[in-house]
Every structure is written in C-alpha cells, then in structure tokens.
Amino acid sequence: MKKKIILIGYGKWGKKIFLKLKKFQKFQVIVYTKKTEHKKKNFFLLKNIRLINAKDFYAIVCATNVNLHEKIIEFAAKEKIPLFVEKPITTNDNFFNKIKSIKNKKIIWVNYLYSKYLDKIKINKKNLKKIILIFGSTGKNKSFYWNKWEWLPHLFSIIIKLLNISKSVKILSIKSKFNNFSIIIKWASTTIYIHYGDNFIKKTRLIKLIYKNNIKIINFNIKNIRLYKIQHDPLEWSLVSFFRKINSNFDYDMNISKRITGLINKINF
C-alpha cells in the first residue's frame, strides 16, 4: 500500500512540487487547496487545517503563502507528522518565541533547496575571503518586498551553510534600483556580495567562492549541475533528502530560520 502524502497549496510553486512528488511511486499524493481543483481526484477543498484527519498520513508538504505557515507548522507538530515547508517559514520574529513551547518542532524541514544542494558538492569552507552570490530572474512584476522574502532566505541559508550560524554579521551596504538589489555583508572575516535582479536576460543562479589563491564557481544551471553527477535538480534533491531523513532531527532548519528572519527584517529597501 502506498504511503499518503498531504500537499497543502496548489499555486504556481505547489504545482511544481506536485509533479516532483508524482515521481515517487511509493507515495499517494493528496492535495488540499482553496481553489477549484478540489473537483479532481485526490484533491480536496481546504477549509480549515484543523479539520484534516492526519493520522493516516506519512508527511505533509506545504506550498502555501507564508501567512498560513505558522498554523500549518503548529498543526504538524501537534499531530507529530514530519513537515516539508517552503521558505520563509515566517516573516515574524516573534513566532520563534511562540514555538519554543511547541513539542515536535524538530520534525520541520525547511526547503532551503540551494543550500541543501551544497551537501552534494565538495566545498572547501576554510580560508574563504569573499563570497559572491548572483541570482536573477527574467520577470519584472515583483516588488522589492516580495523579492526580499523570496530570495534572501535562499541566499542567507547558503552563507550559513558555507560559514557558520554563530558568526557575527554586519550589513555594510544596501542598494536597490529598478527591481535589483545589492547587499554587502561582513560575516566574521568573510565579505559577502549579494546581487539579485528581476530583469536578467536569462535565469541565473551563481556562486563564486574566492580564496587567497583560487576561485571556485558553482552554477545551479541544470547543465552545470550535471557536471557534479547529481541526478536530481535542487527541488527534487530537497524532497529526496527530506524523505530519506524523515525520522531524523531537523532542529538545524528552525535555528537557521530564526537567524534568517531576524536578518531580513533588518534590511529595508
């Protein structure tokens, strides 16, 4: 019998996750949505998260807007069901004080898909002088506020993965113009340059690691990913990792989420 997975949310990103989940033949995907797709097979209308009978489900995958994440996290923790949730898990710093009293919060896996992908690529983390992150999209219809919460969680999670969650952070410079932003950060002895744009000619996901006598470039373009002999794209790999480690302790994700949310709330364009 196939194990049942709940997918909550079926918007643009939820549909991508749904297609990835369908590749896992051992799972049956049950979708809860607020839209008309509930007329399809295994699609149900989401009226109240608390009305879901969770006892028969193996895991929850959350692809809703961030304003629903807190309720879903609390529900998953209460029902003791492992949860795969999109970033950011919240834009509210106070939520992390609230969840201190929630048991089972260590079963929450946050989809920092690019930083988790770095686990598959051997990287020398010592003596990093500079990190340059260049991420860009081709759309021009997003606000600075949206881009801040859409992309900075990914970029900060990469930095934390490469360096250390406990190192001190100093924001040196913030610039924004025409749906582009640049941020310069001092993270202990390493300087990090972050560049994001919503008007690139083509999708760009690039990391440059600059050492004293060497430069390493990591390109998340699919063709370049194959150079690392990885079978899955970043989203697939994040899902694969979640299911492989579903009985593990994901407390690390909550710790870096708290750090990331605090950092982003200090950045105003």
Lowest model confidence (mean pLDDT) among 90-99, 141-150, 194-203, 206-215: 141-150
Per the CB < 8 A criterion, the answer to whether 174 and 195 are in contact is no
First to last CA, the chain: 51
Lowest model confidence (mean pLDDT) among 88-97, 188-197, 225-234: 225-234
Q: Are residues 141 and 125 in the same domain?
A: yes
pLDDT at 46: 76
Give domain status of residue 237, yes or no: no
Residue of 147 and 115 predicted with greater confidence: 115
Residue of 227 and 245 predicted with greater confidence: 245
DSSP 8-class letter at 150: H
Q: For 251, phi and psi rounded to 5 degrees?
A: -55, -30
Is residue 104 very low, low, confident or very high in pLDDT (cuts 50, 70, 90)? low
Q: Are residues 153 and 59 in the same domain?
A: no
Give domain status of residue 249, yes or no: no
Distance, in Å, from the CA atom of 262 to the CA atom of 113, rounded to the nearest integer, reads: 20
* CA 112 from centre of chain: 3
6-31 pLDDT per residue, tens: 999 998 899 999 999 998 889 999 99
In the three-class reduction of DSSP (H, G, I as helix; E, B as strand; rest coil), residue 159 is classed as helix
Q: Are residues 100 and 121 in the same domain?
A: no
Q: Are residues 157 and 213 in the same domain?
A: yes
Distance, in Å, from the CA atom of 239 to the CA atom of 226, rounded to the nearest integer, reads: 18
Domain that holds residue 181: 116-231+260-264
Last residue of a domain, one of 72, 88, 110: 110
Is residue 60 very low, low, confident or very high in pLDDT (cuts 50, 70, 90)? very high
Q: How many domains does the chain have?
A: 2
Q: What CATH number corresponds to the domain at position 178? A: 3.30.360.10
DSSP 8-class letter at 167: S
Is residue 101 very low, low, confident or very high in pLDDT (cuts 50, 70, 90)? low
Last residue of a domain, one of 89, 110, 131: 110
pLDDT at 78: 82
pLDDT at 123 > cutoff 80: no
Percent of the chain with pLDDT over 70: 85
Peptide bond connecting 88 to the previous residue in cis, omega within 30 degrees of 0? yes
193-202 pLDDT per residue, tens: 999 888 788 8
Identify each DSSP E strand in the chain by its residue range.
Answer: 3-8, 27-33, 43-45, 57-62, 83-85, 108-110, 130-136, 169-177, 180-187, 190-197, 204-210, 215-219
Is residue 212 very low, low, confident or very high in pLDDT (cuts 50, 70, 90)? confident
Q: Are residues 41 and 105 in the same domain?
A: yes
Q: What CATH number corresponds to the domain at position 20? A: 3.40.50.720
pLDDT at 177: 78
In the three-class reduction of DSSP (H, G, I as helix; E, B as strand; rest coil), residue 31 is classed as strand
Q: Are residues 122 and 218 in the same domain?
A: yes
Class of residue 232 by CB neighbours under 10 A (exposed 0-12, middle 13-18, buried 19+) = middle
The overall average pLDDT reported for the chain is 82
Q: Are residues 124 and 224 in the same domain?
A: yes
Q: Are residues 122 and 224 in the same domain?
A: yes
pLDDT at 145 > cutoff 60: no
Q: What region does 193 belong to: left with phi over 0, alpha with psi -120 to 50, or beta? A: beta
Q: Are residues 105 and 120 in the same domain?
A: no
Q: Are residues 63 and 149 in the same domain?
A: no
Q: Are residues 16 and 43 in the same domain?
A: yes
Q: Are residues 120 and 227 in the same domain?
A: yes
Concatenated DSSP letters for 92-127? -TTHHHHGGG-TTGGGEEE--HHHHHGGGS----TT
Last residue of a domain, one of 76, 110, 144: 110
